[in-house]
Amino acid sequence: MSKRSLLLGAVAIATLSTPAHADTLREAFVAAYNTNPTLSGAQAAQRAEDENVPIAKADGRPNAGSQFGFQEDFLRNAISFTAPLRRVTASGDLSVPVYSGGRVKNAVRAAKTRVAAGQYDLRGTEASLFSNVVAAYMDVMRDEAVVRLNRANVGVLAVNLEATSDRFEIGDLTRTDVAQSESRLEVAKGELESARANLITSKENYIALVGQVPGELQSPPPLPNLPKAPDEAVDIALQFNPDLLAAKERSAATEFDIKRARGAVKPTVEAYMQGTYINFLNTLDRRDPDSPTNPLLGPRASQEQSNAEAGVRLTIPIYQGGRPAAQIRQAQARSGQAYEQVIATERNIIAQTRAAYSSWRASERVIQSSERAVAASALSLEGVRAENSVGNRTILDILNAEQELLNAQVQLVTARRNSYVAGFTLLAAMGRAEARDLGLDGGPLYDPQVNYDRVKNQFYDFQSDPNPEPKATRTVDTPAQTADIEPLPEQNERK
């Protein structure tokens, strides 16, 4: 029984390090990058942010328009002998902003700065998604290992109970020994069911993030470029963390907002041109031959009128009810808020980086301790079984030793999971866990600058893109996950 229990433990531990042909973490990254709705939605939001630049530029470009109308007079004053019965009108106007008090210029600058902030936000969304994928990936690996360990433990305790019952039948053990073995077996079965439920939860979380059912997951590759000290990690994070960079860009944009608001009290200059054409459709000339004094009301009138003009218009604001001052103060307050948000983001990043570093280092030490604990617990179990065979140990001692081995094994697989997740979280906080850092090979990476360069100078009113189609994949057709794991060979033999 000693060899069997050790073999079961070894098989369960091996599932974390040497699985069969399986999915890889890189494949999970690629699938999430190409199909996750959170990321594709953030990319669409950034494209919408790009459009604020040409929208701001439009206020500084020429504006042209035209109007057409038709008028029919059904009721007319009795003495209006020369009023037309109907008319057709056409007019057009063109205005060209010359000076707007800096409002257009600063609006464009603010929009460009917010585009830069949005691009940093998109990088942060990538890092957050990949961190969640790593956590989900490692959760599945951990929970599969824990299920196997608990299944192995149930098998060992079932063998113990069978052997204890046999020895009770021949009077070698008491009923108490049998009851202790039964109790431990039932507790182990309950823990196995809890482990199965946790595994199902982890698999469903994986599907929600990656968009596909996890297979036999391979061990992830070692994490590169982890810092040697927390201060080194913080220095890198303060330089490259995308959330902090985005907060700084948004703060800079609010300074342009203040300048734009100040432009409301400055003069504006625009050049303009406008023209009007009217055709009375031969209804303007009115004659009254029966009138004794005015048999003819003048010569036949012209049926068309037109005029055109051009000039420069200067507008000087004098009083606007206090609106400009309120808008300036509002922009200043929002700028102050943005400054505080930069500091708040910086604080959070420092705390997250230091905490992730501490968690990673602690998990590394726990792995070392757990590996020694597993080896010592396995050796202890073997010795307790040997001593029990000569009457120096009780059944309870064996049960306790088996439980200690299980606890050490679970602690080991949990520490391995925690170490990898904390290490990747640390890289994300340092700005080194984005798509460009991971070397994904699932096709070209999304570059937000491409769309921005495409639209930033667009000025044609009738140019638009096709209506979008969903990029993310749905998971409604994926099967409900289970935690069924094939029985180990020793269990088949006992059956």
**Could you read off the pLDDT of 24-40 as tens digits, one per residue?**
999 999 999 999 999 99
**Residue 419 half-sphere exposure toward CB, CA atoms < 13 A:** 20
Structure tokens given for 363: 């998990």
- Helix-then-strand count for the chain, H and E: 13, 4
The residue type found at 134 is V
Number of CB atoms found within 10 A of residue 494's CB = 13
- Quote the CA–CA distance of 148 and 2 in Å, as a whole number: 18
**Residue 364 half-sphere exposure toward CB, CA atoms < 13 A:** 11
Q: What pLDDT was estimated at residue 138?
A: 97
Number of CB atoms found within 10 A of residue 302's CB = 9
Q: What pLDDT was estimated at residue 12?
A: 39
State what percent of residues in the chain have pLDDT above 70. Answer: 88
| Cβ-based neighbours of 286, under 8 Å, separated by 6 or more | 81, 82, 83, 297
Number of CB atoms found within 10 A of residue 218's CB = 19
Q: What pLDDT was estimated at residue 81?
A: 63
Q: What pLDDT was estimated at residue 4?
A: 38
Mean per-residue pLDDT, 296-312: 77
Mean per-residue pLDDT, 85-94: 93
**Residue 125 half-sphere exposure toward CB, CA atoms < 13 A:** 21
- DSSP characters for 24-65? -HHHHHHHHHHH-HHHHHHHHHHHHHHTHHHHHHHTTS-EEE
Partnered with residue 278 across adjacent β-strands are 89, 305
- DSSP characters for 321-366? TTHHHHHHHHHHHHHHHHHHHHHHHHHHHHHHHHHHHHHHHHHHHH
**Tens of pLDDT, residues 252-301:** 999 999 999 999 999 999 999 999 999 988 887 655 555 544 444 455 55
Query: Which region among 72-86, 192-206, 325-339 has the lowest average model confidence (pLDDT)?
Result: 72-86
Instruction: Write the CA distances from 289 to 46, 293, 309, integer angstroms.
Output: 75, 10, 39
- DSSP characters for 406-454? HHHHHHHHHHHHHHHHHHHHHHHHTT--SHHHHT--SSPPP-HHHHHHH
Q: Are 175 and 395 in contact (CB under 8 A)?
A: no
Full-model pTM: 0.85
Query: Which region among 94-98, 108-112, 123-127, 462-466 has the lowest average model confidence (pLDDT)?
Result: 462-466
Q: What pLDDT was estimated at residue 218?
A: 93
Buried b (16+ CB within 10 A) or exposed e, 348-379: ebbebbbebbebbbebbebbeebbebbeebbe
Q: Given pLDDT bands bounded at 50, 70 and 90, which one contains residue 105?
A: very high
**Tens of pLDDT, residues 433-449:** 988 888 787 678 999 99
Classify burial at 312, counting beta carbons within 10 Å of its beta carbon; exposed 0-12, middle 13-18, buried 19 or more.
exposed
Give CA 161 to chain center in angstroms: 51
Residue in 328, 324, 226 with CA at minimum distance from that of residue 267: 324
State what percent of residues in the chain have pLDDT above 90. Answer: 72
Mean per-residue pLDDT, 452-475: 91
- Output 335 or 80, whichever has higher pLDDT: 335
Q: What pLDDT was estimated at residue 483?
A: 86
Q: What pLDDT was estimated at residue 442?
A: 67
Instruction: Write the CA distances from 444 to 30, 33, 342, integer angstroms.
Output: 11, 11, 32
Residue in 42, 39, 442, 88 with CA at minimum distance from that of residue 281: 88
Q: What sign for the dihedral angle of Cα 434, 436, 438, 442? A: positive
What would you report as the CA-atom Rg of the chain, rounded to the nearest whole angstrom? 39
Q: What sign for the dihedral angle of Cα 163, 168, 172, 176? A: positive
Q: What pLDDT was estimated at residue 290?
A: 52
- Quote the CA–CA distance of 20 and 18 in Å, as a whole number: 7
The segment with the largest mean pLDDT, out of 11-25, 306-320, 393-407, is: 306-320
Residue in 17, 18, 34 with CA at minimum distance from that of residue 26: 34
- DSSP characters for 148-214? HHHHHHHHHHHHHHHHHHHHHHTTSS-HHHHHHHHHHHHHHHHHHHHHHHHHHHHHHHHHHHHSS--
Q: What pLDDT was estimated at residue 439?
A: 79
The residue type found at 204 is E
Mean per-residue pLDDT, 393-407: 90
Residue in 49, 40, 39 with CA at minimum distance from that of residue 125: 39
Structure tokens given for 456: 């930033």
Q: Are 311 and 271 in contact (CB under 8 A)?
A: yes
Query: Which region among 3-17, 28-42, 237-251 has the lowest average model confidence (pLDDT)?
Result: 3-17
Q: Given pLDDT bands bounded at 50, 70 and 90, which one contains residue 133?
A: very high
Query: Which region among 84-93, 320-329, 420-429 has the lowest average model confidence (pLDDT)?
Result: 84-93
